[in-house]
A and B are shown apart, each in its own frame.
Chain A
Amino acid sequence: MFSNLRTLWGTFAHLFGRRVTVSYPEQMPYLAPRYRGRIILSRDPDGEERCVACNLCAAACPVGCISLQKAEGEGGRWYPEFFRINFSRCIFCGMCEEACPTFAIQMTPDFEMSEYERQNLVYEKEDLLISGTGKFPDYNFYRVAGLAVPGKDKGTAEREAPPVDIHGLMP
């Protein structure tokens, strides 16, 4: 009996409490910068595509929603000929972002992706590619990697020594 009355009072006291509801469309919830939302493809600081079409994201994807085709540009730079993410399958787990060696594929704090037709949830490269660098403003894969590309020979990358001539006898 007493516990019933106490429950009644406890419930009634909620009249003066604060609501926990966030009335979403009017009042946006706070989304952390690392929120795992819509996937984008970023560019490096020089404005080139970061993606090198290594396929690691597609391999890491547990639901297999990423598909891409490698193409080779002039100077031997790899890039995706097409890059397609089927967001009706994507579970926003973030494995692709972790797998990406060049920070090309990134997740953004945006989840408002509703479509009237399911087909529209398949995002092509034009939809995914942004013009900025995303979360890593200064990172440029080719500036730190050993690969030779036009404008950067072997051994001229950051924190890299010139290659050793393994046939030479000098110390």
Chain B
Amino acid sequence: MSLAYGLVQIVTTLVALLATAALLTWVERRLLGVWQDRYGPNRVGPFGVLQAVADGIKLLFKQDWIPPFADRGVFILAPAAGMATVLLGFAVVPLTASWGVAAGLNVGILFFLATTSLGVYSVVLAGWASNNKFALLGGMRAAAQMVSYEVFMGLSMLGVVMLAGSFSLREIVQSQSHLWFVVPQILGFVTFLLAGIAETHRLPFDLPEGENELGAGFHTEYSGMKFGMFFIAEYVGIVLISAMTTTLFLGGWLGPLLPPLVWFVLKTTVLICFFILLRAALPRPRYDQLMALGWKILLPITLLNIALTGALILARA
């Protein structure tokens, strides 16, 4: 792979991702509208598509306010870190057999886990640097939630790794050519999806933001494009988790008739819509319920899944 091709891939992926994330702000609001029997934004441009552009312009022209009591350097660093880590995670996602910035990386899954773990820094630092009680509470919740869900997020992927025999995401997809891993790894699929929701702190697991008790949680003090960065990072996070779920459990680009890229985009889109459906349908659990769900139910399930998968592989061998 030549350097030029690599650069083209990187730039294309970056632009496409940011455009997708911006568009998702509109898609989410339209879909929520549909599920709540209303329209959502439909005024700007055809079907309201340009609403994302309008919002972007609005965010860019807002006053870039840093509270005088905030820790200035960290305050600026936090949203940038959040953005950078989710974008980095995309490096290892194979869109097709040949497209993917570093899809062949032999520790792809570990790299993905590492970047999502680094994402915790973003919210914790934001909560800390804001020097605000609500923000700090949100940051603490985010830290506890993301760290504890990280644990079995990694474990839930282990079954896949055992079946595929590789950490490389490209090889994982290729080993699903006969059967998608969602069938033998249904437990892993469910737990990974739940962990992913918690990881991107999306509803119903958006306790770090928890509007009705924390204001806006860790980004209470943020406004303008810094808030926009958190916002976009959250949407890129949704895309990332959806893309990873597609890659790990739904056979990535594999599929009949349609070209590989279309299959990948299609599966990812369905998952993104599912994320939005979750937001439309489910209320937020209490914080202790969230923790109990993670440690007492989902962690044992993933361990059980690993044990079962191991037994299966041994029995077959």
Report A's interface with B, CB cutoff 8 A. 4, 7-8, 10-12, 14-15, 17-21, 23
Contact = CB atoms under 8 A, between A and B. Distances in A.
A21 to B, nearest CB: 5
A8 B39 contact: no
B37 A19 contact: yes
Contacts of B37: 14, 17-21
Interface in B30-78: 34-39, 42
Contacts of B88: none
How many residues of B sit at the interface, in one of the four size bands? Answer: 10 to 19
A14 B32 CA distance: 10
A17 B33 CA distance: 12
A20 B281 contact: no
A23 B42 CA distance: 10
B202 to A, nearest CB: 14
Interface in B272-292: 277-278, 280-282
Contacts of A15: 34-35
B35 A14 contact: yes
Contacts of A14: 34-37
A11 B36 CA distance: 8
B35 A8 contact: no
A11 B39 contact: no
B275 to A, nearest CB: 12
Given A7-B281, A21-B38, A21-B39, 5 more contacts: A8-B281, A12-B35, A14-B35, A18-B37, A20-B38
A10 B281 contact: yes
A8 B282 contact: yes
Contacts of B38: 19-21
Given A12-B277, A21-B39, A7 B282 contact: yes
Of A4, A11, A17, chain B has the most CB atoms within 10 Å of the CB of A11
B278 A8 contact: yes
Contacts of A19: 34, 37-39
